Structure 1
Amino acid sequence: MATVDECRKALHDLAAKLEANAEARGRLDLDRTLACRVTDLETAFHGRIAGGLLTDIADGDDPKAKIVLTTTSDNLLALIAGRLDITRAIAGREISVKANPFDLLKLRKLL
C-alpha cells in the first residue's frame, strides 16, 4: 500500500508532465473540478483541470467535483505511472470514474 505522500507526489508529477507536454494539453480542453478519493488510505485530493493543466492540487475531498476518481493508492500510482490501463481498470472495477461521458473520452487521452 502506498502512502498519502506518495499519492500526493504522483498527482503533482502528473501535473508536471502535463505542463511539459504541450501536445497532451491540446487534447485536454476541459475546465472541470476533480476529486481523487483514495479508499485504502481514507483520504482524498482535489484540484482543477483547466487549459490542459492540472492545477490547484490540495488535500481533502471536493463533494461538488465534476470528475471523481475513486481507487486504491497502489492503483493510483500505477495509473499515473502508465502501468495500469484506465479502460481495463474501469472494466475490472479497480478504478471508478464518475464524469460526463464526453469528459471520460477526453480523460482517456490524459492517462
Structure 2
Amino acid sequence: MATIEECRSALEKLADNMAGADGDVREAAALDRSLSCRITDLDVTFVGRLKGGRIEVLDTLQGPPAEKAQIRLTMSGGDLVAMVNGELNFAKAWGSGRVKLEAGLRDLFRLRTLL
C-alpha cells in the first residue's frame, strides 16, 4: 500500500512526464479541465487541474470530493505508483476495472491517445 506522500510524488512525476511529452500525447493532455484522483485504499482525493499539458494538484481531501471534477480517476495508491513507474499498463488496468476513468465523451476521446 502506497502512502499519501508516495501518491503525491507519483502524480508530480506523471505531471512532469505529461509536460515533457510531444506529438499526440502532448495534444491530448492540453485540455483545461478540473481533475480529481481518488485513492481508494487511503480514502483521500487529490484535486486540481489538467492545464497546459500538466497536472496541477491544488489540494488533498479526506474522502470523496464535494464537487465532481470534469475528469475523475479512481484507483488504489499502489496502482497509481505502479502505473507511473511503468509497472502497470493503464489500458489493461482500466479494462480490468482496477482503474476508473470518468469524463465527458469528448474528453474521453481526446484522452484515449494517452493510453
Identify the TM-score tier after normalising by the shorter chain: 0.7 to 0.9
TM-score calculated relative to the size of structure 1: 0.84
TM-score calculated relative to the size of structure 2: 0.82
- Which residue pairs with 1:52 in the alignment? 53
Verify: 1:110 aligned to 2:114, yes or no: yes
Verify: 1:7 aligned to 2:7, yes or no: yes
Q: What is the one-letter code of the residue matched to 1:48?
A: R
Cα RMSD of the aligned pairs, angstroms, is 1.9
- Which residue pairs with 1:70 in the alignment? 74
Q: List structure 1 segments (4+ residues) > 4 angstroms apart after TM superposition.
A: none
Q: What is the one-letter code of the residue matched to 1:46?
A: V
- Once the 2 structures are TM-superposed, how far is the Cα of residue 22 of structure 1 from its aligned partner? 4.2
Q: What is the one-letter code of the residue matched to 2:54?
A: L
Deviations 1:19-58 (A, max 9, x none): 2334443332311100000000111101111221212442
Q: What is the one-letter code of the residue matched to 1:53?
A: R
- Which residue pairs with 2:17 in the alignment? 17
Identity of aligned residues (%): 38
C-alpha distance 25-57 of structure 1, shift in aligned 2 (>3 A): farther
Q: Work out whether residues 48 and 54 of structure 1, in 8 Å CA contact, stay in contact via their aligned partners in 2.
A: yes
Question: 1:63, 1:97 → 2: CA distance?
Answer: 16
Query: Matched residue pairs, number?
Result: 111
Secondary structure at 2:87 match in 1: coil
